[in-house]
């Protein structure tokens, strides 16, 4: 029979180098090989358990297989179950079934059979599931008392004792496994952010998947909140003794073969420290403009702006709308061998070959403006500014464009036309804007429908006219798709996201409108008269193609409540039923 390491290599979960590292670590740590792999972040607990289940031909039980009510076994001490990581899951006429973290332990199996005087069946279970089940079913009252003790154990401690206590808690194996499991789960779910939030009723764990927060149904126990926060802060090189001020940090880790970069932010709240981790998977980023969700006509015009020798090209949208990814894809489409490209970012999210990337360091006064003043002496052809945050940065960016450089940057505005008035608010004169800005791309991300369960719905004339679909529907087509939900998409109806765009190009006619003192609304209206496709209209094109739903486009582009956003499909379904 293959060794478990060879088994995981054959399944593509590990490399031979990973196994060598784990064996060296095992020699030092003296723990089981599987636990070492999980602690090092080389493989998830679930992946290892699945491989072990196949190798030993033992069924693997998940949390869903555990009973809702506790199983009382008077003949077996709770301490024995806890020390051997075993929990009863079923009692039948034929015997008792247990889930064990180490099912191949014959001593535990014989001891249980002797204590119960009945046949015993041992299945494989995840250590975290078993620990949670033991806490919930077998040691509930005990743990309530322990939680009170843990809550009181900080009382009367000096600052030094408190810090040392936090370090000890954060270094315990259960806390390490718990934090690793939280990160692994984020990768499995494809989450972009992890939210660990303490509230009065306990610790809440939420994941942002495809732009929507999903609460994890079984969060860690409240008693572990200080230890979890300390563990995350230690990993991200923060000051664990400072709980009164916000902190920022970074965790570089390798999970299941993926290089993860976690940007960690903590803020103090009335119930403890709220922690958010932004998950950047270096292997999942798509750096191709053709994969960004551009419609063909928008992509063609956007690429024409990238080929211009000088000027400012802005990408706008709220936080998390994919602006930086679009800029990275834009830079990747440019020949970095022939052109000198320098970026100034905060932070540098992904490292690009052939491009000089500068990380802003506010603590040593290396700001966007200071870096920009220096890189102009580096003879660049193209400059990317992570974000135009202040007047000085905006003015230097505009001046760089006027002196023969192509400048790419992001700006926080709701519409593409709004970027013009935003620059003016930042102190850039209108005549400089018309002389330097080539175009503005507004972007949003919409969830894409699950191909396994999306269902067609027939629209009536009223709905088609109301939502402006007529100009985009091909002749004879009256149906669009809506979300339904299945196991494949976790009952959400959506898997993944794509972008919708609004490209505002500045030509001579638009220069006249800008110099005439037009506000953002007037600029937007003028751009539409010249044929600009808005974010909503670009979303409608994707609705017609079956890529997303009408309510999803309205959720992202319209300032409406959730009930109003659901109205289009509900109305369409009603019309279909009447027909």
How far is it, in rounded angstroms, from Cα 450 to Cα 549? Answer: 10
| Sign of torsion over alpha carbons 295, 301, 304, 310 | negative
What pLDDT, on a 0 to 100 scale, did the predictor assign at position 376?
Answer: 86
- In sequence order, which residues have a C-beta less than 8 Å from that of residue 266 and are 6 or more positions away? 229, 232, 233, 238, 246, 247, 248, 249, 273, 274, 275
What pLDDT, on a 0 to 100 scale, did the predictor assign at position 283?
Answer: 63
How far is it, in rounded angstroms, from Cα 539 to Cα 295? Answer: 10
Task: Report pLDDT digits (tens) over 180-195.
Answer: 888 888 888 888 899 9
Angle at 423 between CA 422 and CA 425, to 5 degrees: 65
From residue 258, give the alpha-carbon distance in Å to each of 40, 207, 253, 513. 13, 18, 8, 50
Task: Report pLDDT digits (tens) over 71-127.
Answer: 767 788 777 887 788 888 888 878 888 888 888 888 888 888 888 888 888 988 888
Q: Which residue reads 């409540």 in tokens?
A: 561
What pLDDT, on a 0 to 100 scale, did the predictor assign at position 422?
Answer: 92
Q: Which residue reads 């450089």 in tokens?
A: 405
CATH of region 289-445+498-535, choose from 3.60.15.10, 1.10.287.40, 3.30.70.20, 3.40.50.300: 3.40.50.300
What pLDDT, on a 0 to 100 scale, did the predictor assign at position 2?
Answer: 58
Q: Which residue has the higher pLDDT, 5 or 518?
A: 518
Task: Report pLDDT digits (tens) over 477-515.
Answer: 889 999 998 888 878 899 989 999 999 999 999 999 999
Task: Report pLDDT digits (tens) over 333-355.
Answer: 888 788 999 999 887 877 788 88
Contact by Cβ (8 Å): 551, 492: no
Does the pLDDT at position 364 exceed 90? no
pLDDT band (50, 70, 90) for residue 161:
low
Mean pLDDT of all residues in 318-327? 88
Closest CA to 357 of 388, 318, 324: 324
Q: Which residue has the higher pLDDT, 408 or 108?
A: 408
For the chain, percent of residues with pLDDT exceeding 70? 87
- Phi, psi (deg, nearest 5) at residue 219: -75, 170
**The token pair that represents 83 in the structure block:** 């020390």
Neighbours of 560 (CB within 10 A): 13
Q: Domain segments of the chain: what residues?
A: 4-139, 172-281, 289-445+498-535
What's this model's pTM, rounded to 2 decimal places? 0.66
Does the pLDDT at position 27 exceed 80? no
Does the pLDDT at position 562 exceed 90? no
- Phi, psi (deg, nearest 5) at residue 249: -155, -175
- In sequence order, which residues have a C-beta less than 8 Å from that of residue 3 and are 6 or more positions away? none
Does the pLDDT at position 434 exceed 50? yes
Contact by Cβ (8 Å): 349, 261: yes
pLDDT band (50, 70, 90) for residue 200:
confident
Dihedral, 551, 556, 561, 562 alpha carbons, nearest 10: 40
The pLDDT mean for the chain works out to 83
Contact by Cβ (8 Å): 469, 434: no
Task: Report pLDDT digits (tens) over 442-488.
Answer: 999 999 999 989 999 999 889 888 888 988 998 888 899 999 988 88
Under CATH, to which class is 172-281 assigned?
alpha beta
Closest CA to 97 of 64, 75, 124, 127: 124
On whether the 4-139 domain is CATH 3.30.300.160, my answer is yes
Rounded to 10°, the helix 562-578/550-557 angle is 160
Count Cα neighbours of 202 within 13 Å in the Cβ-side half-sphere: 13
- In sequence order, which residues have a C-beta less than 8 Å from that of residue 93 and are 6 or more positions away? none
What pLDDT, on a 0 to 100 scale, did the predictor assign at position 257?
Answer: 67
How far is it, in rounded angstroms, from Cα 307 to Cα 300? Answer: 11
What pLDDT, on a 0 to 100 scale, did the predictor assign at position 576?
Answer: 40
Contact by Cβ (8 Å): 439, 313: yes
- Phi, psi (deg, nearest 5) at residue 256: 50, 40
């Amino acid at each position: 029979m293959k060794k478990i390491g060879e088994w995981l290599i054959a399944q593509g979960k590990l490399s031979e180098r990973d196994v060598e590292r784990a064996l060296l670590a095992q020699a030092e740590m003296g723990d089981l090989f599987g636990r070492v792999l999980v602690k090092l972040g080389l493989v998830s607990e679930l992946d290892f358990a699945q491989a072990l289940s196949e190798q030993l031909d033992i069924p693997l039980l998940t949390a869903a297989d555990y009973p809702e009510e506790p199983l009382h076994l008077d003949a077996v001490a709770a301490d024995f179950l806890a020390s051997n990581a075993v929990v009863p899951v079923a009692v039948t006429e034929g015997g008792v079934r247990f889930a064990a973290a180490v099912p191949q332990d014959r001593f535990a199996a014989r001891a249980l059979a002797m204590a119960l005087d009945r046949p015993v069946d041992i299945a494989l279970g995840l250590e975290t599931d078993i620990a949670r089940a033991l806490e919930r079913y077998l040691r509930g009252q005990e743990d309530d008392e322990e939680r009170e003790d843990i809550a009181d154990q900080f009382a009367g401690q000096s600052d030094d004792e408190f810090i040392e206590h936090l370090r000890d808690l954060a270094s315990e194996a259960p806390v390490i496994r718990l934090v690793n499991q939280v990160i692994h789960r984020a990768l499995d779910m494809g989450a972009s952010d992890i939210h660990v939030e303490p509230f009065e009723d306990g610790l809440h764990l939420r994941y942002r998947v495809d732009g929507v927060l999903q609460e994890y149904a079984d969060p860690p126990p409240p008693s572990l909140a200080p230890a979890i926060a300390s563990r995350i802060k230690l990993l991200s090189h923060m000051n664990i003794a400072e709980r009164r001020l916000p902190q920022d940090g970074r965790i570089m880790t390798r999970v299941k073969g993926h290089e993860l970069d976690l940007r960690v932010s903590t803020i103090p709240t009335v119930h403890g420290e709220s922690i958010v981790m932004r998950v950047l998977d270096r292997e999942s980023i798509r750096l191709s403009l053709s994969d960004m969700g551009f419609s063909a006509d928008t992509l063609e015009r956007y690429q024409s702006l990238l080929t211009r020798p000088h000027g400012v090209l802005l990408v706008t949208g709220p936080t998390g709308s994919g602006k930086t990814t679009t800029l990275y894809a834009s830079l990747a489409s440019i020949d970095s061998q022939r052109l000198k490209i320098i970026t100034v970012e905060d932070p540098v999210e992904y490292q690009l070959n052939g491009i000089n990337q500068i990380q802003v360091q506010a603590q040593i006064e290396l700001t966007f403006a200071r870096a920009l003043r220096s890189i102009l002496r580096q003879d660049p052809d193209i400059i990317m500014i992570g974000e135009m945050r202040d007047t000085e940065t905006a003015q230097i960016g505009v001046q760089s464009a006027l002196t023969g450089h192509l400048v790419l940057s992001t700006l926080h505005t709701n519409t593409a036309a709004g970027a013009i008035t935003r620059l003016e608010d930042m102190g850039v004169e209108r005549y400089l804007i018309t002389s330097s800005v080539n175009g503005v791309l507004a972007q949003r991300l919409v969830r894409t429908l699950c191909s396994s369960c999306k269902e067609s719905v027939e629209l009536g004339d009223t709905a088609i006219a109301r939502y402006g679909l007529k100009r985009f529907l091909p002749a004879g087509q009256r149906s669009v798709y809506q979300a339904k939900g299945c196991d494949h998409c976790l009952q959400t109806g959506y898997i993944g996201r794509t972008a919708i765009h609004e490209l505002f190009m500045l030509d001579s006619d638009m220069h006249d409108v800008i110099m005439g003192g037009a506000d953002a609304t007037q600029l937007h209206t003028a751009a539409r008269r010249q044929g600009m496709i808005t974010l909503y209209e670009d979303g409608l094109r994707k609705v017609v193609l079956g890529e997303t739903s009408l309510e999803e486009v309205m959720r992202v582009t319209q300032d409406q409540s959730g009930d109003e956003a659901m109205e289009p499909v509900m109305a369409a379904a009603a019309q279909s039923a009447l027909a």
